[in-house]
Amino acid sequence: MSSSHPTAPDHRAEVGASLLLPAAVLAAVVPTLTALHQPPSATLLNQCVAVALWGGLVAVLAPRQWPRATVPLITALALVAAAALASWGWGTLPHSLAAQAVGLLAGAALMVVAGADAARGPRRTEAFAALAWGLVASGVLSSAVALVQVFAPGWTDGDWIAHSGLAGRAVGNLRQPNHLCSLLLWALVAAVALHELKRLPRAALAALVPLLVFAVELSASRTGAVGLLLLLLWGVLDRRLSRPARWWLIATPLLYVLAWGAMAWWGDLTQQALGAGARVAAEGGLGGGGASPNARSNIWRNALALIAANPWTGVGFGEFNFAWSLTAFANRPTAFFDHTHNLPLQLMVELGLPLALLVMALLAVALWQAGRRAWRARGETATLARAGWVLVLMTGLHSLVEYPLWYAYFLLPAALAWGLVLGLPVETAAEGAVPAPAAAAETASRAQPLAAGRVAGLLMAAAGALAVLDYQRVVVIYAPPEGSGSLATRIARGQLSPLFAHHADYAAATNPTPPASTALGLARATHSLLDTRLMIAWTRHLAANGHTDEARWVAQRLRDFRNADADEFFAACDPGGAGGVQCQPPQAVHDWRRLATLPWQQAAPAGAAIQPGSASSARQ
């Protein structure tokens, strides 16, 4: 260390020692355990809080350099962000959806840099241990929530512990079984890593592993069950792990089977179907889910058809739901999907094959780089490297059947873990040692100012806090306090939101509002998520503006969903009914791209977008 800089390293170490652990624990726990929510989104507050708190962790880490090993990963993120901007600038994606995507991708890139920079210095173990403690805390508390949701559902109040909408199954405070399982699997990886780092006693590991696996069973998530097999493989293949850690990892599938048996026995005593058994009972058997029209395989077939029809440029970032909903498919799913539930397919259908393959190649290179470092690392560094790599692999596995990376509380910690592994030197010669090139890089980085990295983290934290405030513009539409003004006024204000205008647009499209507000709402809300109410309103708007055959096409696509909420709309087509445009087959095929560019400025008369009884108030 140069004597000309005696205080900067010590100051940074002091800040890290006092704030690193609490910052990481807060960032991992608060977003994933917050049950309180505001309409219209059940998890929007969780995501805003995640951005704010993970940004706070970046400010604590105060990255000073951009390690070269992160270039492929950050390039992939930048290309996806550019696609989002192009879909807005040259396509029809609303600005609020593009801004959200670009903001989250920028935050992920910052997390990668922060992790990689921390990995190149002597605080690498402390940085990873702080992340691991946060993940363990999140997993343990989520397990407690799971136990309440299954065994004491009367205790759930919706504010501290979320209600489970799936009888006999745990969903965590994020209200999705797959999300709960991702937290639990991450916690299992983190607990093993902390034990290997001699920061978690063997007795504590012996208590945590069965608890977390039991909570996985309570969720009945098939993704979670498959994730346990990845842990088994880690235990079998990584001979550098201690014997207790290896045996606990190898035992996780067996513990899951035992938990299933225990819950089946308890279910017989209580005459209830609980945990994984509740899912089997609901689906009529172990293979029942495959026969559902909403099975993953069905939406994947539709996605492949869209890729074949749009191979070069795709349908545009964020436009899968719009293109898929307005394309005719035989025996289509009945749910309104806004994702393909498979990351490679999502990239291919939205970005087109050339760009998607480039992005996936860059991600593969980054994953290979991380794996290479994890394999070659030695001593204490090997523990954090391999655990970090397994965390990333677990996220990738989940991304093959879901879309966790679209949620800030998964994207940001995954990016941090990936950065921590990528930032490690290619080979660590001995436990705790930093090879000469890495030591030189660390010395050079200490000569650079702290300000840039710390300011970037603080700006990210501020962006998360400001997003919460911006969200209130649309919350007041759906949950208006006293004196908040008329519905039309609240909607008009919400349509000015930089990040959440599409929620206000939905209310404008499906409630009586001034013609200009209705037209703007339909022009933008249709690119967020087309559902029954929105497609009914759009059909009526098209018919009122002379686009009769286009209205027939939209109505026919709605009929394809076979959604019970549309029964009243189509009741007019029954014998003796009033009839209407929704009862007439379209005379031509209407491409979704043309429908996206119809002249929305031809506003319908006031109230034409909704008829009595066709949709409910925005308060709901």
Q: How confident is the model at residue 158 (pLDDT cuts 50, 70, 90)?
A: confident
Collect all residues with Cβ–Cβ distance below 8 Å to 178 and sequence separation of at least 6.
219, 221, 223, 224, 398, 401, 402, 404
Model confidence pLDDT, tens digit, residues 333-350: 999 999 999 999 999 999
| DSSP character string of 188-204 | HHHHHHHHHTT-S-HHH
Tell me if 225 sits within 8 A of 188, measured CB to CB: no
Q: What's the pLDDT at 570?
A: 94
Q: What's the pLDDT at 272?
A: 77
Q: What's the pLDDT at 6?
A: 40
- Residue written as tokens 């008329």? 486
**Angle, CA 69 vertex, CA 371 and CA 135 arms, to 5°:** 55
Q: What's the pLDDT at 578?
A: 78
Q: What's the pLDDT at 98?
A: 97
Mean pLDDT of 368-397: 94
The answer, yes or no, to whether residue 101 has pLDDT greater than 50, is: yes
The answer, yes or no, to whether residue 10 has pLDDT greater than 70, is: no
The answer, yes or no, to whether residue 283 has pLDDT greater than 70, is: no
446 vs 251, more confident: 251
φ, ψ of residue 326 to 5 degrees: the values are -100, 10
Average pLDDT over the chain, rounded to whole?
88
Span of 62-66, 138-142, 310-314, 415-419 with lowest mean pLDDT: 62-66
Mean pLDDT of 291-308: 91
Q: What's the pLDDT at 450?
A: 66
Distance (Å, whole) CA 558 – CA 547: 17
Model confidence pLDDT, tens digit, residues 441-500: 444 444 455 688 999 999 999 999 999 999 999 999 999 998 888 999 999 999 999 999
Span of 230-239, 248-257, 258-267, 439-448 with lowest mean pLDDT: 439-448
Distance (Å, whole) CA 466 – CA 51: 10
The answer, yes or no, to whether residue 609 has pLDDT greater than 80, is: no
The three-class DSSP label of residue 298 is: helix
Q: What's the pLDDT at 600?
A: 67
Mean pLDDT of 5-10: 41
Can you say whether residue 79 is alpha, beta or left, with left for phi > 0 and alpha for psi between -120 and 50 degrees? alpha
The verdict on whether omega for the bond into residue 40 sits within 30 degrees of 0, i.e. cis, is: yes
Q: What's the pLDDT at 291?
A: 66
Distance (Å, whole) CA 149 – CA 155: 8
Q: What's the pLDDT at 167?
A: 86
376 vs 360, more confident: 360
Model confidence pLDDT, tens digit, residues 508-558: 999 999 988 999 999 999 999 999 999 999 999 999 999 999 999 999 999
Mean pLDDT of 112-116: 96
